[in-house]
Structure 1
Amino acid sequence: MNRDLKCWKEAATVILASAVRNCFVNKNATSTQTCRPPLLVPKRARNVTQSWLETVVFDYTVLMLQRSAKSSFMPHAQVFPGGTISPSDFSNEWIQMFQPFCKPPNFELGTVRQTAKRPPILAMDRGRLGSEIPGEVAFRICAIRETFEESGILLVKPKAPGKCLKGQGAITLTQYDQKELAKWRLLVQKNAENFISLCRELNCIPNIWALKEWSNWLTPTFLGGKRFDTVFFICCLQEIPFTLHDGYETVQYNWMSPLDFIQGFNLGKFIVPPPQWYELSRLCQIPCFQDLQQFSQDRALEGCEQWFPIHLVASDGYAFLYPGDELYPEDPDYTGEKEININSSKTLEQLRLEVTRLHRIEWRDRYFTLYVNIEPQYKHVHPLTMNMQFNSNL
């Protein structure tokens, strides 16, 4: 394994976005409001007003699962479906499964334009470990398998020569007998290798083409405990599929608009970890499902940054620093062998006013604010910026 990854467990997750037949309307909005029709995705952060929040309309929802109270990592938290990589996700048996429909080296996923600073989790050559499956394929398989285990949603497509790329836009899931899927779900939960058997038995393959690369997050060292190097994908669905939490790792599921999750967090209804909060806030910039599909497709081969949050401790609170911020270390220790903290006797405001490049979340008591004024990398979009008060009554 790459030296820089040895302290992290490798994982994959998928942001599932589903169209809804009738536009989802914020509780304060009128039913006559519609999504803006043209594709106009702002790259820069946009500071929103309360009036905007009361009128914005989403015509799609996203899936989040509530982790069990017994979970050793982020108990109670709302997360996107996903989990840690299994050796079976890199199994060379997948080559036989995909042939003759698509072939290595990239299985017709296309060539990512990002060459410099490609996240190691995706760039690392696994050949010396005996696998011919590239990371961009294996981590998609991982996300699909874990989504099935945690939510019962099976992101596969029937074997059909020459049709591997038909999942470019929003996809319609193949319908299977739910009793049959429930049986397979238990088997895959017991042993990840059974996911290969499932695909053979149902004559299908993981729909890796429907998952678009989105982001890459590392667990910050200051949290202690488990650390994950997680690839985030996004997948658009034509309609909300049958969903059922597993009752073990996940105890509840919610299909809601991105803004509803943000506001639920603000009211203390949900625990949403910073990476999920940040990605939901990004989605808040794109309230129309058609725009989200187009945006995901347009930047599908652009690549993504590896984000390793750094802890900044000031006299009146603390902050998470992200790449691009002027105080972000030039060469952070990605090995995780030592904890990285930046300590200062100055206030958060003083530290902010001393720099010109901002990419940070500041926390004071129960209040936090996102500050970002840098240009997003790889044609991505910044989140909404808003003042939030986190109610920690959970």
Structure 2
Amino acid sequence: MNNYWKESVNIILVSPTLTSIDGSVKCDYDVLTIGGTASAGSLQSASYVLPGGQLDASDFSYNWWQLFDRLGVSSTSLDSFSASVSQRPPIITENLLVDELKRCSSNSEEVLVDTDIALRICAIRHVFQQTGLLLVNYLRILLVHRKSHKYVDKNQTIEYRKRVTQSPQLFPEMCETFDLLPDLWSLNEWWNWLTPSSVGRSPRFDTMYYLCALDSQQPSMSGQLWSSPVTLLNNRHNGHYILSPIHVYELSRLLNFETIVGLKEFARKRQIEGVQRWQPILTMYTDGAIATLPGDDYYPTRVEVFADKQAQSYSLSLREMRAKSCRLNRIELMGTNSDVVVNIDMPSKHIRPVCQYYERHTICANL
């Protein structure tokens, strides 16, 4: 089926910092990004992205219900992911992959797992594929089912990581083999982003973001970068790597939190408000571009999510366009660099990104 976009997840994975806190970085946690070689023609040598990837049919597999039941996970516990959440985006309520799976299914008695659960499984699977880290809940198995998990040695982990990367459907098999319960409860809904229709990239992605705070420090492996949010954002300007504009926006939210405990508590309490799906609207200017977001003075009242439209161009600079605006919620793009410019309150009780530079701080202070 040729859908308008692919559904995917990204996970903001944070852990206690491995380095001592100095006066310049007031933050006791690091966030994980994964390094990758830039595409041909890129102005930079590499990019860093949050872990994540595309939703797969195996994330909805009926086998997950069987595993949850065998490990003593109650339906009430699983229902809690959606029952108490007030605002659900289309990736949950109108999931394209779910519709396709139902149309193609030859077994009407097999019940797919709920989308809230499948998206979390997807995030946990991609973290395992990309880092080798297994986000599983051993304590819940011990307390609820009164049994210990089977030991997974290093060689088995390496082998299954290779196999699951090639065949995602082997992830539920692995969890069943070793009585591994994906720690769905450690992932808190964060936000939902839809690729703009005017970027000229195929496919587009409808991406759910989750935040997960780990309890212990994590060593940095090859291809991984654990860094404080402010360091990660600042060092992108040295030319060694780039960050996507959406990642810059979400990492800028983290600048509000100095402690991992505070961040974790905020995410846990806020997620009951649900998330909105935001589609940036791109417009071109003399010295760059702007990705306008909901709440901004120049965000259109009617947004076409399906039609492919070219970005409109204007003979103004980014600074001039900013001066014409009172309510700002946008990402200013200059080559491969991007800056967040926000001065409005966030919906769904979310937190406003921190504008990093002095000029931005002046804007953000003038509500």
The Cα offsets for residues 322-361 of structure 1, whole Å up to 9 and x where unpaired, read as 11111112221111x3125233233333433333211112
Which residues of 2 match residues 188-207 of structure 1 at below 5 A? 188-207=164-183
Q: State the match for 1:79 in structure 2.
A: 49
Q: State the match for 1:43 in structure 2.
A: none
Q: CA deviation at 1:69?
A: 4.1
Counterpart contact for 1:17–1:60, Cα < 8 Å: yes
User: Do residues 276 (structure 1) and 247 (structure 2) align?
Assistant: yes
Q: CA deviation at 1:10?
A: 0.8
Q: 2:267 aligns with which of 284, 296, 302?
A: 296
User: Do residues 229 (structure 1) and 206 (structure 2) align?
Assistant: yes
Higher deviation after alignment, 11-20 or 61-70: 61-70
Counterpart contact for 1:368–1:388, Cα < 8 Å: no
Q: CA deviation at 1:75?
A: 8.1
Aligned partner letter, 2:177: E
Q: State the match for 2:185 in structure 1.
A: 209
User: Do residues 58 (structure 1) and 55 (structure 2) align?
Assistant: no
Q: State the match for 2:14 in structure 1.
A: 17
Aligned partner letter, 1:155: L
Aligned partner letter, 1:160: I
Q: State the match for 2:343 in structure 1.
A: 373
Q: 1:143 aligns with which of 123, 147, 158?
A: 123
User: Do residues 240 (structure 1) and 217 (structure 2) align?
Assistant: yes
Q: Matched residue of 2:80: which SS?
A: coil
Q: Matched residue of 1:361: which SS?
A: strand
Counterpart contact for 2:45–2:241, Cα < 8 Å: no
Counterpart contact for 2:237–2:337, Cα < 8 Å: no
Q: CA deviation at 1:16?
A: 0.7
What is the rounded CA distance, in whole Å, between the counterparts of 1:82 and 1:75 in structure 2?
Answer: 21
Which has the larger share of helix? Answer: 2
User: Do residues 183 (structure 1) and 164 (structure 2) align?
Assistant: no
The Cα offsets for residues 361-383 of structure 1, whole Å up to 9 and x where unpaired, read as 22456875432111101111111
What is the rounded CA distance, in whole Å, between the counterparts of 2:297 and 2:179 in structure 1?
Answer: 52
Q: State the match for 2:93 in structure 1.
A: 123
Counterpart contact for 1:153–1:242, Cα < 8 Å: no
Going from structure 1 to structure 2, the CA distance change for 1:196 and 1:357 (only over 3 Å counts) comes to: same
What is the rounded CA distance, in whole Å, between the counterparts of 2:163 and 2:251 in structure 1?
Answer: 32
Q: State the match for 1:321 in structure 2.
A: 292
Q: Matched residue of 2:207: which SS?
A: strand
Counterpart contact for 2:120–2:187, Cα < 8 Å: yes
Q: State the match for 1:42 in structure 2.
A: none
Q: CA deviation at 1:240?
A: 2.7
Q: State the match for 1:93 in structure 2.
A: 63
Gaps of 5+ in 1: 30-53, 165-172, 246-251, 390-394
What is the rounded CA distance, in whole Å, between the counterparts of 2:178 and 2:217 in structure 1?
Answer: 22
Q: Which has the higher contact order (CA 8 A, sep 6+)?
A: 1
Aligned partner letter, 2:244: P
Q: CA deviation at 1:243?
A: 5.8
Q: Matched residue of 2:123: which SS?
A: helix
Aligned partner letter, 1:322: L
Q: Under a length normalisation based on structure 2, what TM-score does the superposition of the two structures give?
A: 0.83
The Cα offsets for residues 282-308 of structure 1, whole Å up to 9 and x where unpaired, read as 111112111111111111222112121
Q: CA deviation at 1:110?
A: 5.2
Which residues of 2 match residues 332-347 of structure 1 at below 5 A? 332-335=303-306, 337-347=307-317
What is the rounded CA distance, in whole Å, between the counterparts of 1:114 and 1:353 in structure 2?
Answer: 36
Q: Matched residue of 1:383: which SS?
A: coil
Higher deviation after alignment, 312-321 or 298-307: 312-321
Q: CA deviation at 1:256?
A: 0.9
Going from structure 1 to structure 2, the CA distance change for 1:365 and 1:188 (only over 3 Å counts) comes to: closer
Q: 1:262 aligns with which of 208, 233, 236?
A: 233
Q: State the match for 2:135 in structure 1.
A: 155
Going from structure 1 to structure 2, the CA distance change for 1:132 and 1:264 (only over 3 Å counts) comes to: same
Higher deviation after alignment, 278-287 or 174-183: 174-183
Counterpart contact for 1:211–1:234, Cα < 8 Å: yes
Q: Matched residue of 1:205: which SS?
A: coil
Q: Matched residue of 2:347: which SS?
A: coil
Q: CA deviation at 1:180?
A: 1.5
Q: Matched residue of 1:114: which SS?
A: coil
Q: 1:67 aligns with which of 27, 36, 61?
A: 36
Aligned partner letter, 2:10: T
Question: Percent identity between the aligned chains?
Answer: 30
- Name the Cα RMSD after superposition: 3.0
What is the rounded CA distance, in whole Å, between the counterparts of 1:237 and 1:177 in structure 2?
Answer: 21
Q: Under a length normalisation based on structure 1, what TM-score does the superposition of the two structures give?
A: 0.78
The Cα offsets for residues 125-177 of structure 1, whole Å up to 9 and x where unpaired, read as 6374555322111111001001100110111123627659xxxxxxxx99842
Going from structure 1 to structure 2, the CA distance change for 1:224 and 1:214 (only over 3 Å counts) comes to: same
Which has the larger share of strand? Answer: 1
Q: Matched residue of 1:301: which SS?
A: helix
Counterpart contact for 2:141–2:181, Cα < 8 Å: no
Aligned partner letter, 2:330: R
The Cα offsets for residues 252-291 of structure 1, whole Å up to 9 and x where unpaired, read as 1011111110111122222111111111111111121111
